[in-house]
Amino acid sequence: MRSEKKQASPANPLGGDSGLFTPSGIEIPTVVTPEMVSREEHEIPGEYPFTRGIFPDGFRGRMWTMRQYSGFGTAEESNKRYHFLLEQGQTGLSVAMDLPTQCGYDPVDPMALPEVGKVGVSLSNLAEMEILFRGIDLGSISTSFTINGTAAIIYAFYIAAADKAGIPRAKLTGTIQNDILKEYVARGTWIFPVRPSMRLIADTILFANRETPRFNPISIAGAHVRDAGATAVEEIAYTLANGLAYVDELLARGGEIDRFAKRLSFFFYVHADFFEEVCKFRAARRIWAQLMKERYGATDPKSQMFRFGVVCGGSSLTAAQPHNNIVRVGIEAMAAVMGGAQSIFTCAFDEAFQIPTEQSAEIALRTQQVVAHESGIASSVDPLGGSYYVEYLTGRMVEEIHKVMKEIDDYGGVIKAIEEGFIQKRIAERARERKRRVDSGERVIVGVNRYQREDRTEKMGGVFKGQVFKVDPQTSREITDKYNAIRDKRDNQAVQTALQRLGEAAPNESQNLLPILVECAHAYATVGEMVQTLKKDWGEFQEPIRF
């Protein structure tokens, strides 16, 4: 939806009332004149504050990493899909994990059984990680893991897999999401309380800075906040606020800003309001650079750079008339490129109601490749720079993002706002308002509340003629059988010794847990065993009920 109408809007600066607003509530003037734009006259890409991009040559020097979010069922099935995508020209992997893995349960746990292998691949131990990347050189491929509550454990598995394959840790590239703060407010795959979770994240980042210096140990994610209901302005504001909380934690642990800030990265969704999406990234780069330099004293330009990846899709996709999603994702991919993303993955058109098939995943990848090689928009850095409207909207986004961040500061900071449910309440209110606008038709969604077909059985793919992904009913049994076999074959004394060391270190906040987690991984300890060991000391997060 390009714009939305509201009542009682402010006066249009050119006279009259435009009545049109971006989804974040910023008024769209009928036309923007030079007098309405405030911008730096000599700002160029690759220079502070990086509004126009972090690299002087943009995508001319290096194309963005093309990923497709993929993972389902067994590690063997997902490995086959990865080989297929790499053969089609994908340049990085993005791993989806099932809910038991995300929430810290082994596949034999009664809590896990109904969800094993359903929305991602089951990765309960090192053996599964080795199968997942069989035939793939971890030293030459960039791998992204969308994992948070158990991110440190999955990262330990990845390091152990590289160790066993003889790949130097310094060659590993990729990202673990590892952003627990947004889990508490938007997605729900939290495990431990906020403060021990922050400690574990700091442990991971400090360890990674030393052991895997090319690997991004955190991807601070606004994506799920956006999908949960937040506006584009709030998506950036909440994400930057979370980022600052991690920076403060790392500094308190003795980290050096010009060392760890170079490996902080971010992750967002791109929705279909083209200009607002482009401008939110330009605004975020400017704000982050200024915060790193002026608040924290970062002097290395790399420490001031706002590096981010995106998903094109998510809640912007619809189950009704699913082929419309190909167009939506194409628009969103162009906005991501215009906004200067370093990594892009494009959702498949059927992702609103099923795990993508090979056919739909290939179309999603081809969408990126057409944008990259045929559209010409990657040939010039920030080609929209200097547009009166783009510069105006970027400036307005900066103002509104700062307002939301100040609101969080005034509340007492992001940790307090999460622990007391303030941000959760705000996102829920936005989600309710968004649904009201869609239900009323105020916000047009093609095929959903306008231009529907009379035959509504198409919803959820009811009359979809293409391939349909089906989960093999034997998948859960195969995974649990492999799990039991590993437990029988491993050195259980080595497992118990490693887990005992982990339990003893958990209360000691001055000790970094990552070396012990890697030791546990090498011993083939499982996700569930490591999580249960930490729970004995840390407990679990309890959702606030204040509001």
Dihedral sign of CA atoms 472, 91, 262, 163 in order? positive
Cβ density class 178-195: b for 16+ within 10 Å, e for less = bbbbbbbbbbebbbbbbe
pLDDT tens digits for the chain (547 residues)? 445 544 433 333 333 355 799 999 999 999 999 989 876 656 899 999 999 999 999 999 899 999 877 778 899 999 999 999 899 888 889 899 999 999 999 999 999 988 998 889 999 999 999 999 999 999 999 999 999 999 999 999 999 999 999 999 999 999 999 999 999 999 889 999 999 999 999 999 999 999 999 999 999 999 999 999 999 999 999 999 999 999 999 999 999 999 999 999 999 999 999 999 999 999 999 999 999 999 999 999 999 999 999 999 989 999 999 999 999 999 999 999 999 999 999 999 999 988 888 899 899 999 999 999 999 999 999 999 999 999 999 999 999 999 999 999 999 999 999 989 999 999 999 999 999 999 999 999 999 999 998 655 444 444 455 566 666 778 889 999 999 999 999 999 999 999 999 999 999 999 999 999 999 999 999 999 999 999 999 999 988 865 4
Number of alpha carbons in the 13 Å side-chain half-sphere of residue 467: 14
Q: State the Cα–Cα distance between residues 284 and 302, nearest whole angstrom.
A: 15
CB-based contact 240:406 (threshold 8 Å): no
Angle between the N-to-C axes of helices 151-165 and 527-538, in degrees from 0 to 180, rounded to the nearest 10:
140
Task: List domains and CATH numbers for the chain.
Answer: 64-451 (3.20.20.240)
Strands 4-5 and 20-21: antiparallel
Q: State the Cα–Cα distance between residues 13 and 323, nearest whole angstrom.
A: 39
